[in-house]
Structure 1
Amino acid sequence: MYDITIVGAGPAGSTLAKLLGSKYKILVIEKRNLEYYSKGNNREKCCGGLLAPDAQYMIAKMGLGIPKDILVDPQLFAVRTIDLNNNIERYYQRFYFNMDREKFDRWLVSQIPKEVDLRFNSVFKSFTPIDNGYEIRFSHNKQEYVERTKVLIGADGGNSLIRGQAFSNHLFPKNYISIQEWYETKSEMPYFTAIFDKNITDFYSWIIPKNGYILLGGAFDIGKEANEKFQLLKMKLQKREFQFGKRIKREGAFIYRPTSLKALLHGKDNIALVGEAAGSISPSSAEGFSYALKSALYLAQSLESGIDGFLNRYKNKLRKLKANILLKNLKSPAMYNTFLRRLAMKSGIQSIKVEN
């Protein structure tokens, strides 16, 4: 029997395995192959790949430095913010690292101690309570496997299967579908772009230049109209002289947005949630790296003194994240209310003038 099984080896799951790997017998189940890269034969995470200052702080706090081959061109320091409803544009200074998300995830996995059992290309199926733990089922190469574990950790992101099975009666964060397409480009774009348009989404959309490509994406209500809204976004941007070359690939993923603190869950009955599966993600910007790393650290600290009582310790530590998410929700109206956003952008406060 494993002490701990972690489902998901993204930033939250891999960080937790790194911090606990020498203390417990751990199994990590991950649907992607994060051991090595195989072009055209890997499931890539739909993500803009920007590392915000809060996430940079957490990387430093863990005593790590990001290898330079994870960073990509260009490294930029401005966000062009476009309000399509009010027809206003402003530039704001920001300090993100532009990076290759796939390489970032594989680098975090490389930090996991060798004692941890890693199962890549494996799809978690279900769990069943047993004496002193859970029986878990997952598939690999069309074959089903069964293992036993004392503690089960859901680090499986938006639309978490473990959250859905274990906490079906609890409030869930609002769920969006993110759609992102990669296009070839020969033009330089010296800024990231954030787009707001209530006719497209009540969240936001983005453009990110990355290694000779531009990424166009947005978070949309789940349903048949999601793709129509994406095409409308693209058309509106083309009218503003944005150019999209040959499309290289299209990605999609679910994104949680915790608009209520009741949607944040720590766990129960020796099942714990970390990262986005717990609802730990910014409701204003959908930034998730820092929340994934923080929740993994808090859970690891809660398990340092043993399994007994760890969920209560974890719940107490998560109060810091809940306070942060509450503040982000208080900030959201200034970003997503059309009238308030107009006042904020018209004022020009904290914006910068770009000399062309």
Structure 2
Amino acid sequence: MYDIVIVGAGPAGANLGRLIGNKYKVLLLDKRDLANENPQNFTSKCCGGLLAPDAQKMIAQLGLGIPKDILVDPQLFAVRTIDLTNNLERLYQRFYYNMDREKFDHWLVSLLPAGVDKKFNSLFKNYAKIPGGYEVRYVHKGEEKSVKTKVIVGADGALSRLRKSIGKGIDSPEEYISIQQWFKSPGDLSYFTAIFDEEISDFYAWIIPKDDNLILGAALRPRANTREKYERLKIRLQDYGFNFGRQLKTEGAFIYRPREVSQLYVGRDGIALVGEAAGAISPSSAEGISYALKSSLYLAQSLEDGLDGFLDRYMQKVKEIKLNLLLKNLKSPAMYNPFLRKLAMQSGLRSIK
């Protein structure tokens, strides 16, 4: 019998396990091979791998420091903003840690207390209510297994199976498909590029240099000629000097975009949700690491006084995240309304030469 089973070992699940592993008997599940530094068949996270200022602040608040071998070249201090709709371009100063996302996740897992049980290469299947808690079923290396637990935590990202099972009738965030292709970089880039084009997406696209490689990613509406629009984006960017080299790999994942505060849902009964599974992700930039770390910290704090009533305490703490999501949504029109974005970029306010 475990006290807590955490489904998902990304930043939210791993950080929660780190914070509560010395107080509770914890099992951490993940479908990836996070126990092996050089796995043969590693499914990488479809993520730009940038630590934005909000995530940097959370790393500091947690008393952590990023090991230098997680960082990649170049470190980024500017955002090149390209508005394809209005044919405008500006450069803005902003500070990002450019990192290897796979190594970042391995590092967070390495910080887990020795008492935390880890089952990687394990796919969560389902759960059933039993006296005193739940029975959790998962598949490990092709074999179905089960454990008993008092509490389940869903840290399983967008389209969370746990959220779907307990959140019937709860409004879910809007869903997008994130597509990323890696290319052999034909030249040096020293900035993060954000691209806006209403014909491609009502969200945005990005270009990020990674050592000798380049990532082109886009958040696109599902079932709306997604792949065709991604290819059209590549062609349009050639007019701005981007000549993508040899393609190395393609990644994809669903991501959430919470447009209403009510879409942040943290669970019920003995099942809690953290990170993107809860709907905690920026609706303006799709940045999720800061929310993963913050929500897992709040849940850990809510568990300090025991399992009884922990979910009520957690709901109180995430009110700060709800306010943050509200403010991000109020900010969004200046970025995503073509007319307002045109006015902002034409003004040159806060831009650099």
Q: When the two structures are superposed, what TM-score results if normalisation uses the length of structure 1?
A: 0.98
Q: Tell me which amino acid in the other structure corresponds to 2:154.
A: G
Give 3-state SS (helix, strand or coil) of 1:162's partner. Answer: helix
CA distance in 2, matches of 1:227, 1:57: 36
The number of residues matched between the two structures is 353
Superposed CA deviations along residues 50-102 of structure 1, whole A, max 9, x for unmatched, are 00111111111111110000000011211100000000000000100000000
Paired position in structure 2 for 1:246: 246
2:65 match: 65
Q: Tell me the secondary structure at the aligned position of residue 44 of structure 1.
A: coil
Task: Give the match for residue 183 of structure 1.
Answer: 183
Q: Specify the SS of the correspondent of 1:169.
A: coil
* Residue pairs, 1:224-243, within 5 angstroms: 225-243=225-243
Determine the structure 1 residue equivalent to 2:327.
327
Alpha-carbon shift at residue 33 of structure 1 (Å): 1.0
Alignment pair present for 1:172 and 2:178: no
- Cα deviation for residue 225 of structure 1 reads 1.0
Q: Match for residue 219 of structure 1?
A: 219
Shift of 1:189: 0.8
Structure 1: unaligned runs, 5 residues or longer:
none
Q: Give the root-mean-square deviation of aligned CA atoms.
A: 0.8
1:112-127 to 2 correspondences below 5 Å: 112-127=112-127
- Could you tell me which residue of structure 1 aligns to residue 90 of structure 2? 90
Determine the structure 2 residue equivalent to 1:261: 261
**Shift in Å, 1:39:** 5.0
Tell me the equivalent position of 1:305: 305
What is the deviation of 1:168?
Answer: 2.5
In the alignment, does 2:155 pair up with 1:155? Answer: yes
Residue in structure 1 matched with residue 44 of structure 2 by the alignment:
44
Cα 1:99–1:118, aligned 2, differ >3 Å: closer, same or farther?
A: same
Separation of aligned partners in 2, 1:252 and 1:79: 23
Structure 1 residues 82-91 or 236-245, which shifts more?
236-245
TM-score with structure 2 setting the length: 0.99
Checking the alignment, whether the CA contact within 8 Å between 2:11 and 2:293 is kept in structure 1 is: yes
SS of structure 1 residue aligned to 2:138: strand
- Matches of 1:40 and 1:76, distance apart in 2: 31
Equivalent pair of 2:33/2:39 in contact (CA under 8 Å): no
- Displacement of 1:179 after TM fit? 0.2
Q: Report the counterpart of residue 110 of structure 2 in structure 1.
A: 110
Distance across 1 between alignment mates of 2:28 and 2:220: 31
Distance 2:225 2:111 in 1: 41
Partners of 2:199 and 2:40 in 1: how far apart?
35
- Identity score, percent: 61
Deviation beyond 3 Å, 4+ runs, structure 1: none
1:35 CA drift (Å): 1.6
2-structure distance, mates of 1:29, 1:55: 24
Q: Which secondary structure does the structure 2 equivalent of 1:325 belong to?
A: helix
Separation in 2 of the partners of 1:256 and 1:100? 22
